[in-house]
Chain A
Amino acid sequence: MESQYQTRTFIQGDEMKLGRLFNKAHDWYVGFVPRTEDYWRWCCLNRPDVSREGIIIVEEKTNREIIGYTVVGKSGNVWELCVDPNVDRKYVVSVLLENAVSYLRKVNADQMVLNVPSDDLVMQLACGKMDFFELPPDQMFVGITDFEALVGALAENVRDRLGNFRETVTFRLLNARSWINPVFSVRIDGEVQVFENAVPSGFSIEVDSDVLAAILLGNTNPFTAVLRGKLKVNPFWKFRKAMSLLNALQIHNSWFYSLADYG
């Protein structure tokens, strides 16, 4: 296995490949900034505590394709660690972690901290094997500033899953903050159209803005919101349609962010 891969540090020109690998490795997750070449350069390479020796790369010997990398800061933070999902991740993860520890010992850092996806057993096993201990994870808080744009984008994104759903829906947000538009409509037909006000619609959904945020962000089940009287569908007989729409719009992916995403 070892002979198949080799380890090196960052060289100019790697930025785009590393950004692409990051996006590929985190394809299933949401909640992070998708890496572009410029963003990665700013976020990792130009970060004050990162030097080129702290960016450790594992590549295939034959075609020099990058299959894993980590960005380690002198502060002890592992800003990014990711591995191509199509290779032997177990080996690559342990090589990256071992190299990161050696680098941090060399720069006299007193600790090493990293974020790992909670459903990535390979990474967790590697951390356990290297005697890492678990800390409570940092919490992420999200606020929606433009509901109609988000609902429109989510509807567009799940258009196929909505099947034969063809309706115009009006959302009436209760207790909306001053920067939020309290009434908007979405027409879902062959395409998705968003209106910044109420238009004649098949049904309306009346809901507290915080509750709708929790539903869309995957924290609350729409049905539970109805049972608790926090969401009303008018006319009520369109209730099932409203539930199927909200279920489809809900973000079901896991939220994951590496330390570099904290800014």
Chain B
Amino acid sequence: MVEKMYKYRLFLPQDSDAVRGLVKAAFPNFLEGDYWDWKHFNNPQFDPSIVVVSEKDGEIVGCSHWLKGNIKIGSDLVVGSFLTCDLAVKPEQRGRGIARELLLQRRTRETFRSRGIVVNYDFADPRLAKRLYTPLLGYTKVGVAVKKYAKVLNWKRLIDFVSNEDAGRILLRRFPKLRELNLSICFKSKSAPPLTLRFMNGKIEATENEPSDVHILVEADLRVLVSVFEAKHVMTQLLKAVFQRKIKIKGKFLKLYEVTQNFGLLKTVLRVISTPEPDFFSHAQTPKYKVRTFEDGDEIEIVRLFDKAYADYGGFVPRDPKYWLWCCLQRPGVVREGIFVVVDENDNSVVGYAVAGKWGNIWELCYDPAHDVETVVGMLLGETTRYLESMEAASVSFNAVEEDSALLKVCNKFGFEALISPRMYLSILDTRGVVALLADGKREELIRYFDEAILVKLKDVPAWVKDTLFVRIDRNGVYVDENVHPYTILVKTDFTTFSSLLAGVLTPSAAVAQSKLEVEPFRKTSTAIKLLSYLQFDAKWFFPMSDYG
């Protein structure tokens, strides 16, 4: 059975609250208040049939909007257009291709033609455009004749930022040197009122004046200052700017040395000049971790955390509360006292958990990567080890993601050693189903790049698998069948190689090089390799011990 976790559908009036909240949370620095209502709901051009939402278990986790209108593209030429905007996905659901799917929904010739839409445009972050919009949708960056100017009228935002007690605490945690720092710097720029920052006794004070007793005076154009602190090599950029006389610095030599030692701190504080750090504020409250044992109802948050932690992986059974209760709580050898949960006391959210069986297996150990890994995992390993010692378990073992260096570091601290990883062996029972599912995920790219009919002939197939597989890709879509149809490319391989290709553990070019895969006619080899590489499972494989059954 092929199960799709996310459902995509058109916006309904009853979705307003959820979508409003989603857009507001995704763009915290954008306009406050009734922004979404104004832009969409109260827009005379609002068309709910071009707003799409993504749903998981009845909850809206993503949305995408098009704003219908006209755009001028010639001196006397105006055409119908869609402005792509307010594409938002819940942070814990990101990285799963939801935005991509949302962008493709309703994108049909019929949608555009019936509404007279000729162009689609967006004002996007260039990195996002390069990664998503251009390859997926064919967007072209137009050469704009725009200059953007700004002027700082006051430093209220920066002053509020540094005077926020929580922000101060976090800065101190991030930059422990702040405790010993005794430094005052005044920044002077034509485009802003003077700003003085004083670092003293672990505290920061910001004022909008130019006192005479500051240690260092920095005079520069605000843009130069921001670009220096945003640069990868701050020191090099700073020296360059000083030599080019774009920045003037006056002050005591020793104090200047102190500045060079505290660039990270200054950079964090000064970033607020250009953009407030949303991540910083979202974690403005210092987490207060507490570990406790399992309580009824925890399973919902635990499953959510499991999904978030392994969002980029495949190879495990997707959790739902019912499955998790069976798989962990009701497992022989597991009792409530062996399930440890770390919660952040600020909002009582579950940020980590471990399920220990009394014979020494930690069936699941999972944590929220947005939190302090060392503390959370340290608490979990400490409690489970103590518990298993009391159960007189001979050893403790669990499965960890190989690339999770933060987790491995904590394991080393606790004296864990890496063993030979257990291997997972996979046999495909329904090649047609797997290929159809993989092709469905890459449908747009396949249609765009291929117009082929490929027949795969498999050798050494098990009795329950058919030895032929046919895939036709054309403008009408992707068609997968087990019967033989006229083809343009013939691929001959054995079942194990083909399974390895689909599972992503062998590349098609390596299969060709190792003579495990043949293509006829030979001149179509590169097309076949390219096509097969689209039909590979591209997530990493991971399975906690509880998935062994």
Most chain B beta-carbon contacts within 10 A, residue among A38, A48, A115, A150:
A48
- B142 part of interface (Cβ distance < 8 Å): yes
Which residues from B are CB-within-8-Å of A118? 144-147
Q: How far is the CA of A210 from the CA of B140 in the complex (A)?
A: 8
Taking a contact as CB atoms under 8 Å apart, the answer to whether A144 and B153 are in contact is: no
Most chain B beta-carbon contacts within 10 A, residue among A29, A38, A135, A145:
A145
- Interface of chain B residues 93 through 123 with chain A (CB within 8 A): 107-109, 111-113, 116-123
Among residues of B, the one whose C-beta sits closest to the C-beta of A111 is B152
Among residues of B, the one whose C-beta sits closest to the C-beta of A124 is B147
Taking a contact as CB atoms under 8 Å apart, the answer to whether A135 and B149 are in contact is: yes
Which residues from B are CB-within-8-Å of A145? 82, 112, 117-120
Taking a contact as CB atoms under 8 Å apart, the answer to whether B73 and A137 are in contact is: no
Shortest beta-carbon distance from A125 to chain B in Å: 11
Q: How far is the CA of A179 from the CA of B117 in the complex (A)?
A: 12
- Interface of chain B residues 63 through 83 with chain A (CB within 8 A): 67, 69-79, 82-83
- A104 part of interface (Cβ distance < 8 Å): yes
How many chain B residues touch A (Cβ–Cβ < 8 Å)? 77
Contact with B along A241-263 (1 / 0, CB 8 A): 00000000001011111000011
| Segment touching A, from B165-173, B422-430, B442-450 | B442-450
Q: How far is the CA of A149 from the CA of B154 in the complex (A)?
A: 49
- Interface of chain B residues 428 through 456 with chain A (CB within 8 A): 444, 447-449
Shortest beta-carbon distance from B225 to chain A in Å: 9
Which residues from A are CB-within-8-Å of B157? 110
Shortest beta-carbon distance from B106 to chain A in Å: 10
Which residues from A are CB-within-8-Å of B416? none
**Given A110-B155, A110-B156, is A31 in contact with B118 using a C-beta cutoff of 8 Å?**
no
- Interface of chain A residues 1 through 58 with chain B (CB within 8 A): 27-34, 38-39, 42, 46-49
- B85 part of interface (Cβ distance < 8 Å): yes
Taking a contact as CB atoms under 8 Å apart, the answer to whether B117 and A112 are in contact is: no
Which residues from B are CB-within-8-Å of A263? 39, 67, 83, 85
Shortest beta-carbon distance from A148 to chain B in Å: 9
**Given A31-B71, A111-B152, A132-B151, is A137 in contact with B79 using a C-beta cutoff of 8 Å?**
no
- Interface of chain A residues 112 through 164 with chain B (CB within 8 A): 112-119, 124, 127, 130-146, 149-150, 153-154, 157-158
- A225 part of interface (Cβ distance < 8 Å): no
Taking a contact as CB atoms under 8 Å apart, the answer to whether B148 and A177 are in contact is: no
Which residues from A are CB-within-8-Å of B151? 101, 111-112, 130-133
Taking a contact as CB atoms under 8 Å apart, the answer to whether B121 and A143 are in contact is: yes
- Interface of chain B residues 145 through 195 with chain A (CB within 8 A): 145-157, 189-191
Which residues from B are CB-within-8-Å of A254? 144-145
**Given A133-B221, A263-B39, is A253 in contact with B129 using a C-beta cutoff of 8 Å?**
no
- A226 part of interface (Cβ distance < 8 Å): no
Which residues from A are CB-within-8-Å of B134? 141
Taking a contact as CB atoms under 8 Å apart, the answer to whether A48 and B72 are in contact is: no
Taking a contact as CB atoms under 8 Å apart, the answer to whether A42 and B143 are in contact is: no
Taking a contact as CB atoms under 8 Å apart, the answer to whether B144 and A214 are in contact is: no
Q: How far is the CA of A46 from the CA of B44 in the complex (A)?
A: 11
**Given A157-B76, A177-B138, is A150 in contact with B119 using a C-beta cutoff of 8 Å?**
yes
Contact of B153 among A34, A105, A119, A140 (CB under 8 A): A105
- A198 part of interface (Cβ distance < 8 Å): no
- A199 part of interface (Cβ distance < 8 Å): no
Which residues from B are CB-within-8-Å of A182? 475
Taking a contact as CB atoms under 8 Å apart, the answer to whether A142 and B221 are in contact is: no
Which residues from B are CB-within-8-Å of A116? 146-149
Taking a contact as CB atoms under 8 Å apart, the answer to whether A178 and B447 are in contact is: yes
Most chain A beta-carbon contacts within 10 A, residue among B35, B143, B157:
B143
Shortest beta-carbon distance from A146 to chain B in Å: 5
Q: How far is the CA of A124 from the CA of B146 in the complex (A)?
A: 11
- B485 part of interface (Cβ distance < 8 Å): no
Most chain B beta-carbon contacts within 10 A, residue among A34, A127, A143:
A143
Among residues of A, the one whose C-beta sits closest to the C-beta of B42 is A46
Taking a contact as CB atoms under 8 Å apart, the answer to whether B31 and A49 are in contact is: yes
Most chain B beta-carbon contacts within 10 A, residue among A110, A180, A217:
A110
Taking a contact as CB atoms under 8 Å apart, the answer to whether A114 and B149 are in contact is: yes
Taking a contact as CB atoms under 8 Å apart, the answer to whether B156 and A108 are in contact is: yes
Which residues from A are CB-within-8-Å of B78? 34
Shortest beta-carbon distance from A178 to chain B in Å: 5
- B141 part of interface (Cβ distance < 8 Å): yes
Which residues from A are CB-within-8-Å of B148? 113-116, 134-138
Taking a contact as CB atoms under 8 Å apart, the answer to whether A139 and B141 are in contact is: yes
Which residues from A are CB-within-8-Å of B139? 141-143
Interchain Cβ contacts under 8 Å between A and B, 15 examples: A30-B75, A39-B69, A42-B42, A48-B31, A112-B150, A117-B147, A124-B147, A131-B151, A135-B223, A139-B123, A141-B124, A149-B116, A154-B77, A176-B448, A255-B143
Please list the residues of chain A having a beta carbon within 8 angstroms of any beta carbon in chain B.
27-34, 38-39, 42, 46-49, 73, 75-76, 101, 104-105, 108-119, 124, 127, 130-146, 149-150, 153-154, 157-158, 175-182, 209-210, 213-214, 217-219, 251, 253-257, 262-263
